[in-house]
Structure 1
Amino acid sequence: MVRPGGRSARVQTSVHTAVRELEAELGRDALTVPLVAARAGVTPSTIYRRWGDLQELLSDVAVERLRPETPPEDRGDLASDLDAWAEQFLEEMASPPGRAYIRDALLGDPDGDNAGQCSAYAAEQIKVILARAAGRGEPTPDVETVIDRVVAPIMYRILFRPAGLDAPYARRLVAGLLAATS
Structure 2
Amino acid sequence: MAKEMQRQGGRSARIQAAVHAAVRSLGPGATVPAIADAAGVTPSTIYRRWGDLSELLADVAVERMRPAAPPVDTGSAYGDLEAYALQLADEMTTAVGRQMLRDVLGSDCAPQCRDFTMEQLAIMQTRADARGEPFPDMAMDLVIAPILMRVVHEMPVDEDFVHRLMVRL
TM-score in terms of structure 2 length: 0.90
1:100 aligns with 2:99: yes
CA–CA distance in structure 2, aligned partners of residues 59 and 93 of structure 1: 15
3-state SS of paired residue (1:76): coil
1:138 aligns with 2:128: no
Q: Which amino acid aligns with 1:173?
A: L
1:14 aligns with 2:13: no
CA–CA distance in structure 2, aligned partners of residues 116 and 130 of structure 1: 20
Structure with the larger helix share: 1
In structure 1, the residue matched to 2:121 is 126
CA–CA distance in structure 2, aligned partners of residues 97 and 161 of structure 1: 13
Q: Which amino acid aligns with 2:152?
A: L
Tell me how far 1:160 sits from its aligned partner.
2.7
In structure 2, the residue matched to 1:169 is 161
Q: Which amino acid aligns with 2:22?
A: A
CA–CA distance in structure 2, aligned partners of residues 172 and 78 of structure 1: 17
- For residues 14-64 of structure 1, give each alpha carbon's deviation from its aligned partner in whole angstroms, at most 9, with x where no partner exists: 1101111222xxxx12x1212211221211111111112222211111111
Tell me how far 1:94 sits from its aligned partner.
1.7
In structure 2, the residue matched to 1:3 is 7
Tell me how far 1:161 sits from its aligned partner.
5.9
Unaligned runs of 5+ in 2: none
1:154 aligns with 2:147: yes
Alignment of 1:22-37 (within 5 A): 22-23=26-27, 28-29=28-29, 31-37=30-36
User: Any conservation in 2 of the 1:86–1:171 contact (CA below 8 Å)?
Assistant: no
Tell me how far 1:90 sits from its aligned partner.
0.9
CA–CA distance in structure 2, aligned partners of residues 11 and 161 of structure 1: 34
Tell me how far 1:88 sits from its aligned partner.
0.5
In structure 2, the residue matched to 1:48 is 47
Q: Which amino acid aligns with 1:39?
A: A
CA–CA distance in structure 1, aligned partners of residues 48 and 85 of structure 2: 38
Tell me how far 1:100 sits from its aligned partner.
0.6
TM-score in terms of structure 1 length: 0.84
Unaligned runs of 5+ in 1: 178-182
- For residues 109-155 of structure 1, give each alpha carbon's deviation from its aligned partner in whole angstroms, at most 9, with x where no partner exists: 1xxx311111111111111111111111111223xx21111111111
CA–CA distance in structure 2, aligned partners of residues 161 and 3 of structure 1: 38
User: Any conservation in 2 of the 1:87–1:167 contact (CA below 8 Å)?
Assistant: yes
Identity across aligned pairs (percent)? Answer: 52
Number of positions where the alignment pairs a residue of Structure 1 with one of Structure 2: 165
In structure 2, the residue matched to 1:180 is none
